[in-house]
């Protein structure tokens, strides 16, 4: 499920007059990107000049903020370097990253066991078409460790045998295509590295052109938890 804003605020801030004050840690990590944290624990970053415009919006309640800030810093630096090159177009380049938060629990009503943050990144640097891609971060609150595609499933299991057919049907429906996704592409785990975990499903996020034609854009597909329950670590 999506993380409740109120729950996120109570977990990461201190209530002052009924409004949660951003924690010092949240302010610090957001400040590294030149942003500020609002009362809902959302980091807002905005930079604009003659050559580019950059906007970041993401929750500071995700446990491993260092990983998030590190990724966004690296993405920003590469973008700025391109924007500063001689011969840049007349219109400012654009980089926009917006985060969505998810959580899962062992059972309804119990504290969250996992938290996920998924960044949808849009970049326009004057190419034939703008780029859109995803970057996800997943965290096990019990083990206090990041969750990757490899650690999400039991060692030796073959999760893509179950996941790929479900994903293929959903993406083909969304993209409106008749031609099937190739077996080699669909069974390649590198295409499944960006995901979010909820109570009901594991949602996979696919960059533009990853499994289907570029014209379909960036897509996502939900795999029911019951379909992979026996494979989860």
Report the mean per-residue pLDDT for the chain. Answer: 87
**Nearest 5°: phi and psi at 210?**
-70, -50
CB 134 within 8 A of CB 207: yes
Task: Give the residues across from 120 on adjacent strands.
Answer: 98, 134
Q: Which domains does the chain have, with CATH numbers?
A: 21-146 (3.30.565.40), 147-232 (3.90.640.20)
Tell me what pLDDT residue 14 has. Answer: 35
pLDDT value of position 215: 72
As a whole number of angstroms, the distance between CA 164 and CA 170 comes to: 10
Please tell me whether residue 83 adopts helix, strand or coil conformation: helix
Q: What is residue 17's predicted lDDT score, i.e. its pLDDT?
A: 39
pLDDT in tens, 121-168: 999 998 778 999 999 999 999 999 999 999 999 999 999 999 999 999
**Structural element, H or E, at residue 226:** helix 225-228
Task: Write the CA distances from 71 to 120, 189, 209, integer angstroms.
Answer: 13, 21, 22
Residue 12 has pLDDT above 60, yes or no: no
Torsion angle, CA of 220/221/226/231, rounded to 10 degrees?
Answer: -80
User: Strand 52-59 vs strand 93-105: parallel, antiparallel, or unpaired?
Assistant: parallel
**Of 1, 2, 11, nearest in space to 61 by CA:** 11
pTM of the shown model: 0.86
Residue 4: band (very low, low, confident or very high) from pLDDT cuts 50, 70, 90: very low
Q: What tens digit of pLDDT does each residue of 169-224 get?
A: 999 888 777 667 889 999 999 999 999 999 999 999 999 888 887 777 789 999 99
Can you read off the two tokens belonging to residue 5? 């804003």
In the predicted model, what is the mean pLDDT of residues 50-66?
Answer: 96
Average pLDDT for residues 21-34, to the nearest whole number? 80
């Amino acid at each position: 499920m999506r993380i409740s804003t109120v729950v996120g605020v109570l977990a990461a801030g201190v209530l002052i007059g009924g409004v949660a004050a951003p924690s010092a840690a949240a302010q610090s990590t957001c400040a590294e990107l030149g942003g500020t944290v609002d009362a809902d624990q959302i980091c807002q970053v905005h930079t604009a000049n003659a050559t580019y415009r950059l906007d970041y919006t993401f929750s500071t309640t995700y446990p491993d903020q260092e990983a998030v800030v590190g990724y966004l810093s690296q993405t920003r630096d590469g973008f700025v370097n391109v924007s500063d090159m001689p011969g840049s177009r007349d219109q400012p380049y654009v980089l926009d990253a917006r985060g969505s938060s998810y959580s899962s629990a062992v059972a309804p009503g119990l504290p969250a066991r996992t938290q996920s943050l998924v960044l949808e990144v849009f970049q326009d640097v004057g190419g034939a078409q703008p780029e859109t891609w995803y970057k996800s971060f997943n965290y096990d609150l019990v083990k206090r460790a990041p969750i990757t595609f490899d650690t999400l499933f039991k060692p030796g299991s073959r999760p893509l045998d179950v996941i790929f057919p479900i994903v293929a049907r959903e993406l083909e429906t969304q993209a409106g295509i008749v031609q099937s996704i190739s077996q080699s592409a669909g069974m390649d785990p590198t295409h499944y590295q960006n995901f979010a975990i909820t109570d009901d499903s594991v949602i996979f996020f696919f960059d533009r052109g990853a499994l289907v034609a570029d014209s379909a854009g960036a897509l996502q597909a939900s795999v029911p938890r019951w379909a992979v329950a026996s494979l989860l670590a």
